[in-house]
Chains A and B, each alone.
Chain A
Amino acid sequence: MNLHKLTLKPIFIRPEAHDTGAPILEVANLNVRYNGYMALEEISFRLNRGERLAVVGPNGAGKSTLFKVIAGVLAPTTGQVKVAGGSPGRHICIAYVPQRTQVDWSFPTTVAAAVMMGRFGKIGLLRRPARRDWEYVRECLDVVGMTSLASRQIGELSGGQQQRMFIARALAQEAELMLMDEPLTGLDVPAQEDIFRVLETLRAREVTVMVATHDLQQAAERFDRVMLLRYRLLGLGLPDAVFTAANLQQAYGGHLHLIQSENGVLAVGDTCCTGEPA
């Protein structure tokens, strides 16, 4: 809610055309300093179109900060972020899907109206949603399987439904890059499976997705690549190469119990929440 932390930008922004040859996301030597400490240090990586990446790391490791910089909400101290070849602040196609706790669910609005908010960028200042915008919202709700809940008050949704509503909102935005901040945390298994089904649809639409998660096993099994983050990029690639005992030790310190088994390293009891600022 703190607007002062948001970056100041030119008042009216004309979205840039995409450079289709460029990777959807390219981060180079990114550093973010926050109240005197380094929140992110020397991060460099690139993502391919349609890829599904899990971002793993303890609380306060900088996952949310990384997402906010990529979304153009937070300015990097040094370094560069390029989305489809341009700066994030000029793109309307990046969706930041917030943690469910970051929003006031008693806000007086319906599911459809909340999803419509994602279209406001396309609709533009001073215009009202047209009939085809409402049709588009309906299609987005259909993708996440929530058409029947369109006229519900948002406070009546379950955790999984809230999360899918946010994804529908990102779809309404016509996002090509979605940054999801712990969408799976606190959901039961069926609700998590609903989300994975939606992620599958997103892949078919060539939407690139970055998902912050605490679940190492899920990250290893359900994503194309994984990223291990703790202020610095400890690893990015296939789970076997990234989730090594040494890397995990470096990321979690003593908070994670690692068990060597014939299948490799198993992580047990990710007792996160070290109390560091998120």
Chain B
Amino acid sequence: MNALWTLLTEPLQYAFMLRGLIAVIMVGVVCAVVGSFVVLRGMAFLGDALAHAILPGVAVGYLVSGGARGALFWWGLGAAVFTALGIGAIGKGSQVKEDTAIGIIFAGMFALGIALISSVRSYAVDLSHFLFGDVLGVAAHDLWLIGIFGGLVLLIILTLYKEFTVLSFDPVLVVTLRMPATLLHYLLLVLIALAIVVSLQTVGVALMVAMLVTPAATAFLLTRRLSRMIALAALIGASAGIIGLYLSYYVSVASGAAIVLVCTGFFLLALLFAPQRGLLWRRSA
């Protein structure tokens, strides 16, 4: 028991681990709550695209600030909101199908981001931080930003919970109830963008979609009520963050990857053993 206690507390004597832990918990919760609506509306691809498409914004921030971290958040935020609204407008009278258009823009923006970052000589290390996150580099200042913007996202979802629910279940009903359908759609995109920017430092853009989608999909397998699904997703997201961080400390693997792998592990467990819906359950029935 004592040994376990030491195992858990030992990493926390380092301030950077403690900050990392607080960051992954907040990020896990925010991403999972937003991600529940991403999963229910079938927007996983869009979320992935959005995450990748903010790279050029982050890159420009990186170039103008000469590698300083402080400005990155705001550049990322601007890029994410801009892209979210841009993606929302795709498909209106366009020549190609919506998902094709998103694919083209997402890869193009991603390439632009890499090109920009690669113009700096020692770019490899920084690029990998943007792509895969650097949770141990989270500063106290970052925690405040994550807390404020993450809190804002949660507050908006809580306030418009019933509107987002109908939007996810039956978008036509939203229109016949004369709710602001277009506004809600764009607002959800902006909330996804905020969740992405908030998690930029913990998991990076490449693995972002996992934080949005995997905990929510896991919770979806385990419950049949939306409110419970969201709460459970938040719990799974936060615990995956904690477990992943400890794993990365003790096994010394990249923290972003460790967190995502734990999420994936949770999902596989639910897929196999979920009551009634699990694969094993169905076989024995």
- Give me the interface of A with B, judged by CB distance under 8 Å: 1-4, 6-9, 11-13, 15, 68, 71-73, 89-92, 94-96, 98, 102-104, 107-110, 113-114, 117-118, 120-121, 123, 125-126, 128-129, 153, 155, 169, 173
Q: With the chains together, A72 CA to B179 CA distance in Å? A: 12
B224 touches A8 (CB 8 A): no
Closest A residue to B166 using CB positions: A117
Enumerate 23 A-B pairs (CB-CB under 8 Å) in ascending A order.
A1-B41, A1-B42, A3-B171, A3-B181, A7-B175, A9-B182, A68-B172, A71-B175, A72-B176, A73-B175, A94-B176, A98-B170, A102-B170, A102-B172, A103-B170, A110-B224, A117-B162, A117-B169, A118-B173, A120-B179, A121-B176, A121-B177, A173-B177
A-B contacts besides A117-B165, A117-B169, A129-B162, 7 pairs, CB < 8 Å: A1-B42, A2-B91, A4-B98, A123-B162, A125-B160, A125-B179, A128-B162
Contact of A71 with B176 at beta-carbon distance under 8 Å, contacts A6-B181, A8-B182, A128-B162 already known? yes
- Give me the interface of B with A, judged by CB distance under 8 Å: 40-42, 91-92, 98, 159-160, 162-163, 165-166, 168-173, 175-183, 185, 220, 223-226, 228-229
Closest B residue to A127 using CB positions: B162
- CB neighbours (8 Å) of A118 from chain B are 173, 177
Closest A residue to B159 using CB positions: A126
B91 touches A120 (CB 8 A): no
Q: With the chains together, A252 CA to B56 CA distance in Å? A: 55
Mostly, the A contact residues are loop
Q: Tell me the minimal C-beta distance from B282 to chain A in angstroms.
A: 14
The 10 closest A-B pairs by CB, nearest first: A121-B177, A13-B178, A153-B224, A11-B180, A4-B91, A108-B226, A73-B175, A117-B166, A108-B229, A108-B224
B225 touches A108 (CB 8 A): yes
B170 touches A117 (CB 8 A): yes
- CB neighbours (8 Å) of B223 from chain A are 108
Q: Which among B169, B170, B228 has the greatest number of chain A C-beta atoms within 10 A? A: B170
Q: With the chains together, A102 CA to B160 CA distance in Å? A: 24
- CB neighbours (8 Å) of B42 from chain A are 1
Q: Which of B160, B165, B171, B175 contacts A1 (CB 8 A)?
A: B171
Q: Tell me the minimal C-beta distance from B121 to chain A in angstroms.
A: 44
B225 touches A109 (CB 8 A): yes
Q: Tell me the minimal C-beta distance from B228 to chain A in angstroms.
A: 8
Q: Tell me the minimal C-beta distance from A136 to chain B in angstroms.
A: 15
Q: With the chains together, A113 CA to B228 CA distance in Å? A: 14
B183 touches A73 (CB 8 A): no
Q: With the chains together, A92 CA to B170 CA distance in Å? A: 16
Q: Tell me the minimal C-beta distance from B102 to chain A in angstroms.
A: 12
A73 touches B178 (CB 8 A): no
B178 touches A120 (CB 8 A): no
Closest B residue to A114 using CB positions: B169
Closest B residue to A116 using CB positions: B162
Contact of A107 with B163 at beta-carbon distance under 8 Å, contacts A71-B176, A96-B176 already known? no
- CB neighbours (8 Å) of B98 from chain A are 2, 4
Q: With the chains together, A11 CA to B91 CA distance in Å? A: 21
Q: With the chains together, A190 CA to B182 CA distance in Å? A: 40
Q: Tell me the minimal C-beta distance from B46 to chain A in angstroms.
A: 12
Q: With the chains together, A71 CA to B225 CA distance in Å? A: 29
- CB neighbours (8 Å) of A108 from chain B are 40, 220, 223-226, 228-229
- CB neighbours (8 Å) of B226 from chain A are 107-109, 113
Q: With the chains together, A13 CA to B185 CA distance in Å? A: 17
Q: With the chains together, A103 CA to B170 CA distance in Å? A: 7
Q: Which of B168, B171, B180 contacts A107 (CB 8 A)?
A: B168
